[in-house]
């Protein structure tokens, strides 16, 4: 799936805030080896590198478009085109950080323990994932893709919500010796512009659906989705749109041996 760095940066402030909230809960003093999984354009990776400026920081992603931007903007950081599913670094990590990426992967029951196994004793696994899959922005998209008109072309893209509830992650991760900090926040995002929620999802959830369509279908699907969104997220009198967005956070700090 192609990513568009420019479009992803359209709502930078809203997308950055949860990353900073996550970062604020990582108490490591001087980690030596840091990986940012699903680093995208590397903006958040560069903040990790600034905060821990003696650490070796590596950003990992599978999108060449996003990595190109990362390389261009932050040449001193190491960037690697690698699938998170194959993450098996030569040097174990003091910090594995992942902001808004692991929800693109399924099977967290197998994935999370495997990622955590790449930490050194005392290491930290810090993750933020959107947990908005039952919100109208997503349910309307999946409902529309499941209609007779679109099912043949888009039905295969409707997948079960990849993110589990907070209790599920607690049960999975509380087995580790150390300290588990886990929470969920709904950001009451005030977005500017026409069809703001459509513009938001265009660079994330909607991308695979548009990528599977061609020609006139793209416009037609987008228009139907936009109409449904406008009903669910009506414009406020001042022209803004309120888009509540839930996110789940995990900071697991492993015990020192």
> Which residues here bind ligand SAM, judged by CB under 6 A?
3, 19, 38-40, 43-44, 60-63, 66, 83-85, 99-101, 104-105, 204
Minimum CB distance to ligand SAM, residue 34 (Å): 13
Residue closer to ligand SAM, measured from CB, 80 or 153: 80
97, β-bridge pairs = 36, 126
Residue closer to ligand SAM, measured from CB, 102 or 154: 102
Minimum CB distance to ligand SAM, residue 52 (Å): 17
Minimum CB distance to ligand SAM, residue 235 (Å): 26
Residue closer to ligand SAM, measured from CB, 61 or 150: 61
Instruction: Report the residue closest to ligand SAM, judged by CB.
Output: 40
Minimum CB distance to ligand SAM, residue 229 (Å): 19
How does strand 93-99 pair with strand 33-37? parallel
Residue closer to ligand SAM, measured from CB, 37 or 252: 37
Residue closer to ligand SAM, measured from CB, 67 or 119: 67
User: Contact at 8 Å (CB) between 163 and 133?
Assistant: yes
Give the single-character DSSP code of 119. Answer: E
Minimum CB distance to ligand SAM, residue 9 (Å): 9
Q: Which residue has the tokens 């500017």?
A: 192
Residue closer to ligand SAM, measured from CB, 81 or 223: 81
């Amino acid at each position: 799936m192609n990513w568009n760095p420019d479009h992803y940066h359209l709502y930078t402030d809203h997308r950055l805030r949860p990353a900073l909230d996550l970062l604020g809960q990582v108490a490591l003093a001087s980690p030596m080896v840091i990986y940012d999984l699903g680093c995208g354009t590397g903006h958040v990776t560069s903040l990790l590198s600034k905060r821990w400026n003696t650490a070796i920081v590596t950003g990992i992603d599978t999108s060449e478009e996003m990595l190109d931007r990362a390389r261009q903007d932050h040449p001193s950081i190491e960037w690697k085109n690698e699938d998170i599913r194959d993450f098996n670094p030569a040097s174990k990590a003091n910090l594995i950080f992942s902001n808004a990426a692991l929800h693109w992967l399924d099977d967290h029951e197998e994935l999370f323990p495997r990622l955590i196994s790449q930490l050194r004793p005392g290491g930290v696994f810090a993750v933020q994932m959107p947990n908005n899959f039952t919100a109208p922005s997503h349910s309307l998209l999946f409902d529309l893709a499941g209609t007779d008109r679109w099912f043949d072309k888009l039905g295969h893209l409707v997948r079960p919500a990849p993110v589990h509830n907070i209790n599920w992650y607690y049960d999975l991760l509380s087995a580790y010796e150390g300290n588990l900090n886990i929470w969920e926040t709904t950001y009451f995002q005030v977005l500017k512009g026409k069809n703001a929620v459509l513009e938001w999802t265009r660079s994330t959830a909607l991308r695979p659906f548009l990528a599977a369509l061609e020609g006139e279908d793209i416009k037609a699907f987008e228009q139907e989705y936009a109409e449904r969104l406008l009903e669910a997220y009506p414009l406020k009198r001042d022209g803004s749109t309120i888009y509540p967005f839930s996110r789940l956070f995990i900071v697991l700090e492993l015990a020192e041996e």
